[in-house]
Amino acid sequence: MEVTNVCEYEELAKQKLPKMVYDYYSAGAEDQWTLKENREAFSRILFRPRVLIDVTKIDMMTTVLDFKISMPIMIAPSAMQKMAHPDGELATARAAASAGTIMTLSSWATSSVEEVNATGPGIRFFQLYVYKDRNIVRQLVRRAEKAGFKAIALTVDTPRLGRREIDIKNRFTLPPHLTLKNFENLDLGKMDKANDSGLAAYVASQVDQSLSWKDVQWLQTITSLPILCKGIMTAEDTQKAIECGAAGIIVSNHGARQLDYSPATITCLEEVVKEANGRVPVFLDGGVRRGTDVFKALALGASGIFIGRPVLYGLAVDGEAGIKNVLKMLRNELEMTMALSGCTSLKDITRDHVLTESDRIRRSLSRL
């Protein structure tokens, strides 16, 4: 069967992966309301297309933190990718480089920063949790810098892991033949005593619940890499992030895996963009499955979007080729949406090209 859209990869991945692995990748927290809402919120945003515009040539190139990329579609950090395919993060790195876009490597990857760097040239960011032992953070950041990573995506929404009930039912553990490669060859203190599967659980338990804004500032004292705050959802936290020196913001609810009944990220985007007011770029992840979703995020002020689960599903089904196809389909759909909306470049995409639920309510009230 020919795969014609990104969503079809999920069903194929479900058939192929062990249940415990598929559930780990696909599940959200608790009732999974936010997981559904991340998708459904996009469907409530409609288009206001412009016509009779020459769209013979469409330019999707953009710049992220001074790095030129082929399109505003990037890869979000996803943990433990070798559960999906033996090549894991290495396939993801090659696919991203081939597509001319950015890959973000999870610090809980099953491939190390050095192994990813060895796949060849590419623009890569490193996702970071802050641990109780700051020496571990220093070592991870140093390794990422040495391996040529260009930015740190600091996860700020995880003082503790959300309650993912499917993982509890499945008694999820990292398969014994895999390990968290970025923690190898570090001075881990007590972590040294854990076996590989136990290491994953122990690392998760060491995420620092006291993480605060002062740690965003501290991180800038140990690295010159730009820091993106990943997990911002409000104007208040946007202002705080900018005050603390963040180079950018990723509007994210952690793929709906943390606080259930948080709004969809696309619903929060405009509030964050308005507060940022051009001082730093704002990106979005969560729920993007179509090129139309990408266009909607750009119209509401995002500088680009990150995809997570679609990459995992493409990887599970067809390795590197699957990820390349996911990126190609989203690129082609975005190009089509731009053409049919009368936009020949990303700067042509404006707020006037979309109609949100709030817009429609305001229009209805104005007629009363």
127 labeled binding residue = yes
In sequence order, what DSSP letters do the residues of 275-339 get, joined into one string? Answer: HHTTSS-EEEESS--SHHHHHHHHHTT-SEEEE-HHHHHHHHHHHHHHHHHHHHHHHHHHHHHHH
285 labeled binding residue = yes
Backbone φ/ψ region at 142: left (φ over 0), alpha (ψ -120 to 50), beta:
alpha
Q: What is the spatial distance between Cα 190 and Cα 80, in angstroms, rounded to a whole number?
A: 22
129 labeled binding residue = yes
Check if 177 is active-site: no
164 labeled binding residue = yes
124 labeled binding residue = no
49 labeled binding residue = no
22 labeled binding residue = no
167 labeled binding residue = no
Of 85, 177, 254, 353, which one is the catalytic site residue? Answer: 254
288 labeled binding residue = yes
Angle ∠(62,310,151) on CA atoms, nearest 5: 45
| Number of Cβ within a 10 Å radius of residue 53 | 12
155 labeled binding residue = yes
Q: What is the spatial distance between Cα 222 and Cα 244, in angstroms, rounded to a whole number?
A: 15
Angle ∠(208,213,214) on CA atoms, nearest 5: 85
**Sign of the dihedral through C-alpha 215, 219, 220, 221:** positive
360 labeled binding residue = no
198 labeled binding residue = no
Contacts of 340 (CB under 8 A, 6+ apart): 49
231 labeled binding residue = no
Annotated binding-site residue numbers for FMN: 77-79, 106, 127, 155, 230, 252, 285-289, 308-309
| Catalytic residue IDs | 254
Annotated binding-site residue numbers for glyoxylate: 24, 129, 164, 254, 257
Annotated binding-site residue numbers: 24, 77-79, 106, 127, 129, 155, 164, 230, 252, 254, 257, 285-289, 308-309
